[in-house]
Structure 1
Amino acid sequence: MVNLGEIFPNFTAPTSQGEITFHDWLEDKWGILFSHPADYTPVCTTELGTVAKLVPEFTKRNVKLIALSIDDVDSHNGWIKDIQADSQLTGEFPFPIISDNRDLAVKFGMLDPDERDKAGLPLTARCVFIVGPDKKLKLSLLYPATTGRNFDEILRVVDSLQLTATKKVATPANWQQGGDCMVIPSVKQEDIPKLFPKGVTMKPVPSGKSYLRYTPQPE
């Protein structure tokens, strides 16, 4: 299991696009590793097709994508044809799918004990790991095998992570790209004019405490 802020462990694994070593593959970009219970499963097929269509959006954000499933590379390559047919995709599939023999699923805490395969073994859950260019884990999400992920939300999360990594702001509930942000508590009031030239609005609350400080999204 990897905790937020820790270096995401390096590993070498076969994929549908050849063997990769994770840190080398990531280069100096952001990365998203997302796992799947198995090949030729219905929800996974819709997820991978959805992500493939969103590749241009992730590329704009300097994000590389890599999936994982507990089946071999030949199985992955056959499954990709179904994914492309279901989502009306053509050409080379735009990101690799890792072939895992359960080692990575166990190492990274991906197993779903309530969902099992025909042999009675726990299926891999629907995990999302977002890793920064510094190779540190920035976010993790864990869905059960029965629930498909919302990749528009994952794009939104990437926008927030990249913004808050360099600006002294946090993003409020339901924030979207371009929306107002919140000044983080560690910023002193006297530093606000130089840090936030667009201005800061203080929202009054019954406690009288000055902690709800809103500012237009920094450039």
Structure 2
Amino acid sequence: MSDFILCNWSAWAPGLNCTHHSLVSADNVVVLEWIPKLLQRRLTPLARAVFNVADHCMESGKTLPVVLSSSHGEICKSLDMLKAIQAGDELSPTAFSLSVHNAIAGLFSIAYDNNQEITVIAPGLEGIAPAFIEALGMLNEGVNEVLMILYDEPLADFYPTAPFNLNVCFPCVLALRMSLNGDGMPLQLCRIPQSRNDGEHPIQLLAFIKFLVTEQRLLCLGNYGHSWTWHKK
């Protein structure tokens, strides 16, 4: 059982049919003007959404330890490179470096000049809980605040998804600024013994955003292995 404070949060889920002051609308996902032009050209639509959501959640001039979690990263860029190879085209080294799972984390650290610890998680079947565990571990080791960013985009039809429950039809990004004390929304994370099937990271990410924007007090998530509850205190 772990208690923590959600100091601030922001999300982008263009297919979510609801309104909330912490939701960034699809029209507002733009390239942030303060980012250097050379870096702007390297940002995909998903990376731009990550930067916009994180920027709404952070305090100006303040850098924090960061935990990023994504099921597949920008795997669709890898598919584009495979198609290029099939067509006999040469691959761009820059395109390759920006297709790896921690590419957005690298761009984020450069743009924000963030020299603090940055962890990137590919949680597989475990869903969104490993990112919370990592962030809470940092807090309990003594840091004051942690920024957690969860993101995913739909898989291209090329990739098989059945029989796994791992895909949503629109991209989602969620940023959470967390602490062990202070002002904000008190939350509690607990492990539970029940076996559940609530899908993988993208499905659980959308469920957690819905949890934040509604009056729902308790959220239970799991995927056959470990199961967890988040409780608004």
Select the structure with the greater relative contact order (CA < 8 A; seq sep ≥ 6): 2
Q: TM-score, normalised by structure 1?
A: 0.29
Structure whose alpha-carbon radius of gyration is higher? 1
